[in-house]
A = this chain, B = another copy of it.
């Protein structure tokens, strides 16, 4: 795993650059990212391009032996362009045009923005496409971040209608697919389908999911235009969109596949528990099997509510975590904190005054350790267990959480963390037919939309002998976010020999008991989580067996999990329930049992343990 750092030479005098790049190299960093957020520096006015500073910055970096990741600067169009084309500014749901002065304030659809992006990217490619120091291009920055994916301008409305026309063909087909007969909402034409602007009650979840898909497609289309230019003009370089790991606004999947490897931005103190982060790392790795961390915090950051400290040892641990998960590169954000603007409180590897901050000291140690490490340690072994998930499912549950505080993230992390605590590697993959025969166990904790492809994938996996474990809220809706009028889990209730009889959020916690099996004595008193499905009692002789039952509340005694053959369904949603169930069904994995603050890996025959409480790394030496 190569280390690197984001660098903003335009914020500092050129006289400082040789020292900065020299110190990067001395610390063991190999990659330096620059250029994004510098559109105005590159193009200070219409038809004026200034490459002098960028030439010098790239050459300075190259002279220090650094490899360059060059960013296209399209996440912030210049003020002069906004004044020339005010329609570039995106429009809020209430119809207010957003002000410039922050970032990602532009509409992703409007032609004036698209054209300006293509022009500046083409100019960059022309100048730097074959620069030997440049090993990769980053396109734009964090698509979808700051709620930028969705815009309510007239350009977007027309594009939305066109997209629907293409997708559904006739308005009657759309009305049928969305069930607009509910609340008398039948559209007379595609022109009548408006972007979901504020109204006094909720908009249809069908419209809302379509709108999210459309908006994500618009953001993608923008970047695909850049990709085409770079791929042609800068052959042989890697191409990335860097994705904000925790933002849901766009579907990361196609972005991650733009250039063969995914790239994500990772800020652990703003991402939840270590188990949340571990899931998101595996999610990114699952897109193509290869991934970079394009930004990683080196210390306290500015945008979390409590701005937690980052204790000594933390940065090194983060680096090793990424390496053990299988990332190929790890770039800190950033070299030196900005003196102006919104991110003054975001630490860097240096302090504001240019002296080394703690992050640089740990980065230097990490670089040395990685250089000395056995490469086999950093090779991720094939996994027996995979977790299936799609971005559409995240959106569908975001639109209709149905229980305050319930998120798709929590539902999938519970299953992922349970398998990890049991000692398994877990691949996070899309439910595409290709994966059917690849894994021994498939976890489907919240595989919400029962599309034909999803059904076919599960069917094929079962046919291939895999154990498939469905979780609450799996296989409930169709591709248009309508409830499927079949027994739940849709398409598989028959095979399961049971069905979902009750589903709801819980205010008062309940527990469940998991039956004994060959793998152990079972468990009781297991907390069920804030959402539970209750399953129907299977018929005698159906071959279905109840492998967990609720113990408390009015559902005491009723089925919490049922299994028939290689298909199982778990109605509870906590990590503890998943862990108890997996223990019963498949027993512990190769890495051994880990606590919630631990991560255990088997690499090159060695057991390596990260402890996120004590900030220790065991098993490397």
Contact = CB atoms under 8 A, between A and B. Distances in A.
A399 to B, nearest CB: 10
A255 B289 CA distance: 64
A352 B484 contact: yes
A300 interface: yes
Given A188-B79, A200-B146, A402 B345 contact: yes
A506 interface: yes
Interface stretch (A87-95, A512-520, A571-579, A594-602): A87-95
A99 B94 CA distance: 10
Interface in A597-621: none
A105 interface: yes
A200 B95 contact: no
A100 B103 CA distance: 31
Contact of A200 (B38, B147, B185): B147
A54 B187 CA distance: 20
B482 A183 contact: no
A98 to B, nearest CB: 5
A309 interface: yes
A184 B45 contact: no
A168 interface: no
A538 interface: no
Interface stretch (A61-69, A204-212, A382-390, A581-589): A204-212
A400 B344 contact: yes
Contacts of A76: 183-185
A99 B152 CA distance: 12
Given A199-B99, A203-B102, A184 B404 contact: no
A24 B186 CA distance: 28
A297 to B, nearest CB: 12
Contacts of A80: 188, 192
Interface string A348-366: 0001111100100000000
Interface string A184-199: 1111100010101111
A37 interface: yes
B185 A79 contact: yes
Most buried by B among A45, A78, A339, A354: A339
Contacts of A404: 305-306
B11 A340 contact: no
A103 B183 CA distance: 7
Contacts of A79: 185-188, 192
Nearest to A507: B306
Interface stretch (A173-181, A237-245, A416-424): A173-181
A549 interface: no
B204 A339 contact: no
Nearest to A42: B184
A44 interface: yes
Nearest to A554: B311
A342 B11 contact: no
Contacts of A178: 340
A341 interface: yes
B40 A184 contact: yes
Interface in A409-456: none
Contacts of A78: 184, 186
Interface string A50-91: 000000000000000000000001001111100100000010
A127 interface: no
A308 interface: yes
B11 A199 contact: no
Contacts of A354: 485
A337 interface: yes
Contact of A102 (B10, B200, B340, B344): B200
Given A98-B198, A101-B194, A312-B554, A342 B183 contact: yes
Contacts of A555: 309, 311
Contacts of A94: 94, 96
Interface in A453-488: 482-488
A487 B353 CA distance: 6
B45 A188 contact: yes
Nearest to A195: B99
Given A73-B184, A181-B41, A502-B358, A199 B340 contact: no
Given A104-B200, A185-B341, A307 B90 contact: no
Nearest to A82: B192
Contact of A482 (B308, B340, B488): B340
Given A198-B92, A353-B487, A504-B308, A204 B340 contact: yes
Contacts of A309: 502, 504, 506, 554-555
Interface string A322-351: 000000000000000111111111000001
Contacts of A183: 37, 76, 102-103, 341-342
A589 B201 CA distance: 44
Contacts of A502: 300, 309, 358
Contacts of A376: none
B184 A38 contact: yes
Given A198-B99, A403-B306, A504-B309, A186 B344 contact: no
Interface of A: 8, 10-11, 37-41, 44-45, 73, 76-80, 83, 90, 92, 94-96, 98-105, 146-148, 178-188, 192, 194, 196-207, 300, 302, 305-312, 337-345, 351-355, 358, 400, 402-404, 482-488, 501-507, 553-555
Given A103-B201, A358-B501, 11 more contacts: A37-B182, A79-B187, A98-B199, A99-B199, A100-B199, A101-B185, A102-B201, A148-B200, A182-B338, A203-B342, A308-B507
Q: Which 4 A-B pairs have the closest CB atoms?
A: A179-B340, A182-B341, A311-B554, A102-B201
7 contacts: A79-B186, A95-B96, A98-B197, A102-B199, A105-B201, A339-B482, A353-B485
